[in-house]
Amino acid sequence: MKNQINFRSTLAICFISIIIVLFAAVWSLAASEKPTGALVGTVTDATTDLPLVGANITVVNTLIGTSTDMNGRFQLPRVPVGKQLLKVSFIGYRAERVEVEVLQDESTHINFALSPSAILFDQVVITGSRQSEELSEAANSVNVLSNLEIRQRNRFRLDEALEALPAVQRVGENISIRGGTGYSLLGVGGSRVLMMIDDVPVLTSDLGRANWDLLPVTEVERVEVLKGAGSVLYGSGGTSGVVNIITMRPTEAPVFKFRHSAGVYSNPSVPEWKWTDENLYFYRSDMSYSGTIGRVGLRLSASRHYSTGDRQNGDFSRWYFTARPVIRFDDGSNLAIFAAYSRDERGFFLQWQDQNHALNTNFQDRIDVDGFFISATYNKLYSTRFALKSRLSFNSQLIGLPFNLTRDFKPALGFSGEMQGSWLPNDRHTLTFGIDAKRDLAESSYFGEHRGSAVSPYLQEKWKVNEQLQLSAGVRYEAYYLVGDSAETQFSPKVGLSFKPFEGTIIHSSLGRGFRAPTIAERFSVTDPSDNVQLVNNPTLLPERSTLFDIGIRQRIGEFLSAEVTAFSNSYTDLIEIAQISDLTIELQFRNYPRARIEGIETEAKMQLFNNRLGVQGNATWMRSRSLESDRLFDLDVDTPLPYRPRFSAYVSPFVKFGNLTFEAEYRYTSRFERVSFFPRDERVPLKVLDLRARYQWKRYSFLFQVNNAVNYNYTVIEQNLGELRNFSIAISGEL
Amino acid sequence: MNEKRAIHIQMKWKIILSLLLILLAGCEFDKGLDVLKSRISGEVVFLGTESRPDNIDEVRVVAVANFPPSGLADVFFSEAIPFDRDTAKYEILLPLGDYPAVGVLWKPRGKDWAFTSLLGFYGFEPPASASLQPVTLTENEPIATDIDLFALWELARLDAEISGTVTFQGELPENTDTVLLAAFTGIPDLNNVISLLGILGGLPLPVPLNNISPGATYEFQLPVRSGGYKYLAAFWVAKGGFETIQLLGFLPDPQDPDKPRAFTLPADSVLSGLDFIADFEMVK
C-alpha cells in the first residue's frame, strides 16, 4: 500500500514537471526568433603563448557558453546581434570581461591572452547548480582540478590527483570528502561520493562503487568536486559530495597528443622488507587524436599502463579507450557522445604477511575490473534564455573482488535517461528543472538477480537579489524501487546563499540533505560457506541520510593572494557499515550505524609572486568525527571517533620557475587515524609524503623528472597495506 | 644593464635553491613504520596424533589482547604451522601489551576460524594443569620466548554424532548474539568459561537465529568425539562476549527430569532422538 502511494505521488510530481518543461519550451520558442552571429577565437597563456585547454567563455546573462578545445580555440554560434558582454575564465588565471559587437550572420574573431593569477575562484563551474556559474558567486563549496594541474603533476589516476584538494582523502578504493566515507571491506560497500562523467552518475549498479580508473586522466578537461548535498540535483549516492568529471571535447583542427612516462621503484627503506631481486618498474603511454570533419568532431584516445608493482602480487596491466564524437546541427544544437572502456588485470594485495614482511602477502588473488560507459547528450539552445538537454546513458561494470568472489558475478548494468531544462526568465532568475530515470540490473550467485528503478524530478531556482546577494533553493524527489522488494523515497531539499559585502570578499553558505539507497550487494549478499569471508544478508537495511551544512568566506588580496575558509557540520543517519555480528565466528553483515556527526574547518590559500616565478598553494583541514549514540555491535560509545577519519590533514605545494624550468614540491600530511576497524592494535603513523619534480617546457613539449615519496616514508592508510614506495620517473608529453 | 641584473637574480635563485637542496640532503627524515621487534615464540607440542582428524585445513597459534575476545580485532594469528609432526615452532609478531591468552586453533576444511576450535592454550599442560597464563610484552622485554603450548588432537577428533530436536519457548532477547548447542563430558561451570573448553565434546553448534521463535522446533545434528557424556544443553550468549553465557535448557534424564541425561557414544556411532526444551525465560 505504501509503495502504491509513493508511486502515485511520484507520478504526479513527474507529470507536473513535464508540464513545466513543455510550457517553458513553448514559451521560449515563441521568443527565440532573433538575428544572430557567431563569436570565434582562441584563449592562450599571456606569458607562454601556449593554448589554454578548457577555458570557459560565456555570454553574460544568457545560457550561451562553451569551453576551449585542445588548441585553445572556441566557437559560439547563434549569439544575438549587438553588444554582448563576454567573460573568459580559467583556473589559475585572471578572468577577463570584454564587450564585443556581434554582427548578423558573421563570425566575429576575438582572442584572449590570460595572465596567471593566484585567484582560486576566478573560474566557472557547473556542478552544484547544473548551470555555468562563477565559482566566486556559488553558494556551494566547489573545488576544481584542471587538466593542466593533472598533467603537470603527472598523475595517472583520478583519485590520486584529487588528493591535492582540501578535505579530500583516498581511503582504499574510496574517495572521502569531509570525512564522509570510511573503508568498506574489499570495496563491497557503496561509495558516499557520487562519481559522474559529464553530469551522468556512473556508480556501479550492484556494489554502488566508483571506478576511479574508468577513463584516462589525459581525457579529463577538469574535475569539479562539490562538497555538500549533491543528492539535490544528482540523486542517490552523493551523501557527502559529488565528483563530476568533465571530459575533453574535439578540436576544430587535427591534433595528436601524447604522454609517455616510465619509472622505477626504490628498494624499501627497511632492508628486511626487500622481497625480490627483480627490478620493479612501471610505464604509461597516453595518446589521443582530435579533429573535425564537416559537422562531426571526433576525439579518440588509447592508453596503456603497466606496473610490476612495488610489492608481491602488486602488478597490474591496464588498457583504456575512449571516443567522443560531437555532431553539430544547423540550428546550433549538437549531439555529444562519450564512450569509455577500460580493463584492469591485477594482483590484489589484501594485506601484508606481517609487519616484518610488509611487502609480502599470503594472498595471491588476481582480479579483473572491466568498465564500459556510453552516454549520448542532445543539447539544444532554443533561445539565449532557454535550453534543453536530453541524455541517455548505459553503464556496464564488473568490479573485481578477491578470493575469486567475482567469478560468480555478471557485469552490473545501469541504464538511465534524463531531460533537463534551463530557463532565464529575466536577468535575476535562473530556473533549472528536469526529470531523470534509471534502471539497474545486477546478478551474482551471492545476491541473486535483482532489478531496481528510480524516477526523480528536480527543480532549482537561483535568484540574484542584487549585485551583492544571490540566493538559491532546490528540491529533488527520489523514488527507488527494487522489484519484489520495498521502495525508498526521499525529498532532498537544499538552500544556499552567496553574499559579496565588499569587492574581493564573498561569504557563502549552503544547507541540504543527502541520500543513498542501500546497494543490491549491501542488502542481499550472502557468501558461500566455503568462502574466506562469511557475509550475511540484511534485506531490511535502511537508506543512509545526511544533513550537510557549511558556511565560508572567499577572500582575494590583489592578484597575488587568495584564500578560502569554510566551516562545515555534517550529520549522518543510518550510515551503512560492515559489522562483525558474532563473537564466535568471522561473520559479517552490513548494518545501519547509529547517528554520527562530522564537523570541521577547511582552509585553502594560493599565492604567486614575482610575475608568477615563485608561488605556493596549500590547504589544511581540521575535522572531528563522532558517534552521537552508543552501539555495542559497532563498539561505539557517545563521542567515539568514526573509523578511518583523520583529525587533521594538510597539503602544501610550492614552486619556483627559472625561465622554462620549473621546480615543484608537494607535501601531504594526514594525522594518524584515531580509529580503524579491523586491526586497531597494529602500529599506525601519520601520512607524510613528499613529492618532488622538475619540469622543462620547450615549445609544445614538456619534459618531467619526478620523485614520488621522496624520503621513502612508510605508512599505512588501510591496515596492513603499506603506502607506495619511493619511485623515480621521467615523462615526456607534447603534441604533433 | 637589465640583462646583467637578470643574470644576477637568476644566480641568486640558483644559490638559494642549491643551499635548500644541501639542507634537505643533510636532514634526518622520519621513516615511519619499521619492523616490529616485539614478539612471542615457542613450540607447539601435539599430543594424541592418532586422534587427529583428516579434515584439517590449517593450524595456527593465536594471541588475544582481550579475553574472552570480543572480535577479530582482539586476535593476532601466527603463520600456519605444520601439524603433521609431534612438535612445531611458531612465532607471532605483536605490539607491546598484555596478552591474557595464547592458544592453538585449528580450522576445518571448508569452514571458518572459530574461537571454539581450540586444541590447547598457554597454561594447559595435560593432565597436570589447565589455567590460563598471560604473556606481557614491555619496552624492556619486547620478546617472550619459550611460550610452549600443548595441543590435544583429542579436542578435534569428531568420530560420532548426536541428533535430535530443540523446542524453543519464550521470546528471543533483542541483545542475542548467538544460541549454541553443546555436549560436555562433565557438568559445566558457566562462571568459568575457559573450563568449558576442557570438557567440550566437539564444536558447539550455533542455531540460526531466524529459526527461533516461541514454539519452533529446531532439528540438530552435532558431530562430537566418542566417549561418555554428562550434559547436552542449549546456551544463550548476549552481544558483547562470553561473560554473559546462560543456560536455556538441558537434555533431561527420563527418570529424573531435574537432572541431565548421561549417555555414551562408541566410535563411529550416531545417537538420535535427543529432544529437549530451551526456554528464553531462563535468561536473566
What pLDDT was estimated at residue A3?
Answer: 46
Q: Where are the domains of chain A?
A: 31-114, 124-270+280-285+309-735
- Reading the block at residue A206, the C-alpha cell is 550492484
Interface contact B114, partner A, CB < 8 A: yes
Select the more confidently predicted residue: B260 or B283: B260
Mutate to test the interface with A, among B16, B21, B31, B41 (most CBs of A within 10 A): B31
For A188-207, what is the mean pLDDT?
88
Provide the CATH topology of domain A31-114: Immunoglobulin-like (2.60.40)
B residues 237..256 contacting A (CB < 8 A): 237, 239-242
Inter-chain residue contact A683 with B178, CB threshold 8 Å = no
> Is it the case that residue A293 has pLDDT exceeding 70?
yes
**A20 pLDDT above the threshold of 50:** yes
**Lowest pLDDT segment from A297-306, A686-695, B60-69:** B60-69
End-to-end CA distance of chain A: 64
Category of B127 on φ-ψ map: left (φ > 0), alpha (ψ -120 to 50) or beta: alpha
Q: Is B167 on the interface with A (CB under 8 A)?
A: no
DSSP-derived pairing of the beta strands A576-580 and A701-708: unpaired
Q: Which residues of A touch B31 (CB under 8 A)?
A: 269-270, 711-714
* Residue among A273, A632, A679 whose CB faces B239 most closely: A632
**Of B274, B272, B268, B227, nearest in space to B250 by CA:** B274
Across the interface, whether the CB atoms of B33 and A355 are under 8 A apart is answered: yes
Dump the DSSP string for A248-270. P---SS-EEEEEEEEEEEPPPSS
**Which amino acid, one-letter code, is at A590?**
F
Q: Is the dihedral of CA B35, B37, B40, B42 positive or negative?
A: positive
* pLDDT band, very low/low/confident/very high, at A16 (cuts 50, 70, 90): low
**Residue B27 within any structural domain of the chain:** no
Write out the three cell numbers for A579.
559489522
pLDDT at A9 over 70: no
The three grid cell numbers given for residue A551, joined into one nine-digit string: 558556511
* Confidence bin at B114 (pLDDT 50/70/90): confident
Residue B211 in domain: yes
Query: CB pairs below 8 Å between A and B: how many?
Result: 106
For A354, the closest of B93, B239, B241 (CB atoms) is: B93
Give CA–CA dist A429/A426, Å, rounded. Answer: 6
Q: Which fold has domain A124-270+280-285+309-735?
A: Maltoporin; Chain A (2.40.170)
Which residues does A25 contact at the CB level (< 8 Å), separation at least 6? A382, A386, A388, A421
* Helix, strand, coil % in chain A, rounded to nearest 5: 10, 55, 35
B113 is a domain residue? yes
Tell me the residue range of the domain where B185 lies. 160-282
Mean pLDDT score of chain A, rounded to an integer?
87
| Nearest CA-CA distance, residue A577 and chain B, Å | 16
Which whole number is the average pLDDT over A197-204? 90
Cα A580–B196–B145 angle (5° rounding)? 75
Residue A467 above 50 pLDDT? yes
* CA-wise closest residue to B211 among B181, B254, B244: B181
Q: Which residue has the higher pLDDT, A401 or A65?
A: A65
A269 chain-B contacts, CB cut-off 8 A? 31
Nearest CA in chain B to A684: B33
Q: How far is B226 from chain A (nearest CA, A)?
A: 24
Please give the tally of structural domains in chain B.
2
- Tell me the pLDDT tens digit for each residue of B20-66: 777 766 667 788 999 998 999 999 999 888 778 888 889 999 998 88
Residue from A354, A689, A717 to probe the interface with B (highest B Cβ count within 10 Å): A354
Residues of A with CB under 8 A from a CB of B: 269-270, 272-273, 353-356, 358, 362, 529-530, 532, 534, 580-587, 632-633, 635, 656, 658, 663, 677-683, 685, 688, 711-716, 722
- Shared domain for B217 and B252, answered yes or no, is yes
Q: What is the pLDDT of residue A2?
A: 45
Residue A647: pLDDT band by 50, 70, 90 thresholds?
A: very high
Instruction: Please determine, for residue A8, whether its predicted confidence score (pLDDT) is greater than 90.
Output: no
Measure CA A212 to chain center. 9
Report whether the peptide linkage leading into residue A543 is cis, meaning its omega lies within 30 degrees of zero: no
Q: How far apart are CA B127 and CA B115, in angstroms?
A: 22
Contact B242 A583 (CB under 8 A): yes
Residue B207 lies in a domain: yes
Q: What is the model's pLDDT at position A299?
A: 94
**Based on the domain organization, do B110 and B177 belong to the same domain?**
no
Q: Which residue of A has its CA nearest to B57?
A: A530
DSSP B50: G
Contacts of A678 in chain B (CB under 8 A): 72-73
Which residues of B fall within a CB distance of 8 Å from A685?
A: 32-33
Amino acid A611: pLDDT: 81
Those residues with Cβ within 8 angstroms of residue A172's Cβ, 6 or more apart along the chain or in another chain:
A183, A184, A187, A717, A718, A721
Minimal C-alpha gap between A600 and chain B (Å): 27
Indicate the residue among B110, B130, B155 that finishes a domain. Answer: B155
CA–CA distance from B42 to each of A41, A481, B125, B126, B129 (Å)? Answer: 78, 58, 15, 18, 19
Note the pLDDT tens digit of each residue in A706-719.
999 999 999 999 99
Comparing A484-493, B1-10, B115-124, B224-233, the range with the smallest average pLDDT is: B1-10
Specify whether B143 is located in the same domain as B168.
no
Residue B22 lies in a domain: no
Strands B160-169 and B276-279, how do they pair?
parallel
Residue with cell 619534480: A693
Higher pLDDT, A549 or A527: A549
Model confidence band, residue A375 (pLDDT cutoffs 50, 70, 90): very high
Does residue B192 carry a pLDDT above 80? no
Q: Give the pLDDT score at B66.
A: 80
CB atoms near residue A361 (< 10 Å):
22
Cα separation of A190 and A516, whole Å? 9
Selected for mutation to probe chain B from A311, A352, A584 (highest B CB count within 10 Å) is: A584
With CB atoms and an 8 Å threshold, state whether A586 touches B72: yes
**Which SS3 state, helix, strand or coil, does residue A604 take?**
strand
Mean pLDDT of A102-114: 89
Q: Stretch A365-392: mean pLDDT, rounded?
A: 89
Q: Do A583 and B65 touch (CB under 8 A)?
A: no
Helix (DSSP H) and strand (DSSP E) numbers for chain A:
5, 42
Domain boundary at B99, B122, B155, which? Answer: B155
User: Half-sphere exposure of B57 toward its Cβ, with a 13 Å CA cutoff?
Assistant: 12
Would strands B160-169 and B270-271 be described as parallel, antiparallel, or unpaired?
parallel
Cβ contacts of A663 on chain B, cutoff 8 Å: 17
pLDDT surpassing 50 at residue A481: yes
Query: Residue A393: what pLDDT?
Result: 95
Give the three-class secondary structure for A15.
helix
Cis check for the bond before A35: say yes or no (omega within 30 of 0): no
Domain boundary among the residues B128, B155, B182 is at B155
Mean pLDDT score, A29-48: 78
Whether B13 is covered by a domain: the verdict is: no
Long-range contacts of B5-13 (CB under 8 A, 24+ apart): B10/A658, B13/A656, B13/A658
Residue of B nearest to A655 (CA): B17
**In the prediction, which pLDDT does A520 show?**
86
Taking residues A325-335, report their average pLDDT: 86
- C-alpha A223/C-alpha A234 separation (Å) is 16
What chain A residue is nearest to B242 in terms of C-alpha separation? A583
Indicate whether B60 and B126 sit together in one domain: yes
CATH number, domain of B137, equals 2.60.40
Q: Which three cell numbers stand for residue A553?
A: 568566506
In a domain, B228, yes or no: yes
Does B48 touch chain A if contact means CB atoms closer than 8 Å? Answer: no
Q: What is the pLDDT of residue A80?
A: 86
Give the pLDDT band of residue A284 (cuts 50, 70, 90): very high
Residue in B115, B234, B108, B118 with CA at minimum distance from that of residue B183: B234
Residues from chain A that touch B34, judged by Cβ atoms under 8 A, are: 270, 714
What pLDDT does B212 receive?
Answer: 86
Q: pLDDT per residue over A201-224, tens digit each?
A: 999 888 888 889 999 999 998 999
Task: Return the number of other C-beta atoms located less than 10 Å from residue A681's C-beta.
Answer: 16
Q: Do A583 and B10 make contact, defined as CB atoms within 8 angstroms? A: no
Chain A nearest CA to B71, separation (Å):
5
| ipTM higher than threshold 0.90 | no
pLDDT average, residue stretch A614-626:
95
Q: Kindly state whether B65 is in contact with chain A, defined as any CB-CB distance less than 8 angstroms.
A: yes
Could A580 and B113 be called an inter-chain contact, meaning their C-beta atoms sit closer than 8 Å? Answer: no
- Nearest Cβ partner of B69 from A534, A583, A688? A583
**3-state SS record for A142-178:** EEEEEHHHHHHCCCCCHHHHHCCCCCEEEECCEEEEC
Angle at the Cα of A371 (from A368 to A375), degrees rounded to 5? 180
Q: What is the pLDDT of residue A4?
A: 47
Distance between CA B89 and CA A594 in Å, rounded? 45
- Assign A612 a pLDDT band (cuts: 50, 70, 90): confident
What mean pLDDT do residues B155-170 have?
A: 87
